[in-house]
């Protein structure tokens, strides 16, 4: 086995160990010693692979989000029509978040850290995923409009909002201690966004005004 493969593998092992300990203990409370012990290696070895604790934090997040993006991409690819793709995104997200419920607080810590640190790599990585989701969301939205499912809407603005909404529902779920079923919340949200809440009567009164707002997006 070539050395470079070993190095890559060990690096992954450390990231995995770090993911476990960070998730359990939190970024600030976790010590490199903890991680090394979890990985079954010496403290100094961690520093052969990551220059700082912060770098390791980023690597954990990166691995996480790469997994997520791959999951979404794979499931979307397998879906046959646009509606199925939309469902694939939603289901992948729910699946992913539910599987990693224990890592949720770490996600908040990372967001908080990203806004504090001088290291731009954190916000960059965060926004890479956001961009991935926004692009995918906008694309699918455009298709739904073309196919006559959706009324005319600013697809970019909608995708941006949807990504935010997803995070917000997830956040509510986490802060609520998982007090409601996440998948049901996502389904409910989707119905809400699709169908709207207005009564027939109110819709007719407000239709043109609201329609123009949807078309204008966030401007």
Locus of tokens 């989701």:
133
Residues 42-61 touching DNA, rule: CB under 7 A, are 42-45, 47-49, 51-54
8: contact with DNA by CB under 7 A = no
Q: Residue 62 binds which entry of a copy of itself, DNA, none, with Cβ cut-offs from 5 to 8 Å by kind? A: none
Residue with Cβ nearer a copy of itself (22 or 50)? 22
36 CB burial (10 A radius; 0-12, 13-18, 19+): buried
Residues in contact with 74: Cβ distance below 8 Å, sequence separation at least 6, in sequence order: none
Tokens in use for 197?
């809440």
Residue 77 burial (CB count, 10 A): 9
Classified as helix, coil or strand, 154 is coil
Q: Which of the choices a copy of itself, DNA, none does residue 32 contact, using the CB cut-off of 5 to 8 A by kind?
A: DNA
Instruction: Select from DNA, a copy of itself, none the partner in contact with residue 116, using the beta carbon and a kind-dependent cut-off of 5 to 8 Å.
Output: a copy of itself
Minimum CB distance to a copy of itself, residue 17 (Å): 19
Decide which of DNA, a copy of itself, none touches 101; Cβ closer than 5 to 8 Å per partner kind. none
Euclidean distance between CA atoms 183 and 51, whole angstroms: 39
Which two structure tokens, joined as six digits, stand for 91?
């289901």
8 vs 178, beta carbon nearer a copy of itself: 178
């Amino acid at each position: 086995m070539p050395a470079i493969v070993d190095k890559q593998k060990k690096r992954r092992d450390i990231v995995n160990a770090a993911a476990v300990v960070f998730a359990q203990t939190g970024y600030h409370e976790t010590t490199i010693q903890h991680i090394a012990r979890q990985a079954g290696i010496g403290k100094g070895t961690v520093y052969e692979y990551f220059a700082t604790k912060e770098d390791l934090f980023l690597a954990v997040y990166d691995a996480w989000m790469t997994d997520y993006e791959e999951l979404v991409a794979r499931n979307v690819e397998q879906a046959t029509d646009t509606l199925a793709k939309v469902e694939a995104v939603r289901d992948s997200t729910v699946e992913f978040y539910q599987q990693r419920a224990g890592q949720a607080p770490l996600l908040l810590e990372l967001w908080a850290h990203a806004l504090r640190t001088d290291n731009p790599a954190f916000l960059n990585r965060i926004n890479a995923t956001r961009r991935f989701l926004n692009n995918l969301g906008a694309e699918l939205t455009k298709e739904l409009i073309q196919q006559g499912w959706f009324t005319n809407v600013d697809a970019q603005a909608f995708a941006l909002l949807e990504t935010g909404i997803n995070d917000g529902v997830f956040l509510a779920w986490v802060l609520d201690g998982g007090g409601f079923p996440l998948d049901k919340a996502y389904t409910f949200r989707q119905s809400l966004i699709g169908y709207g809440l207005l009564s027939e009567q109110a819709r007719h009164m407000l239709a043109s005004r609201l329609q123009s707002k949807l078309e204008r997006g966030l401007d």
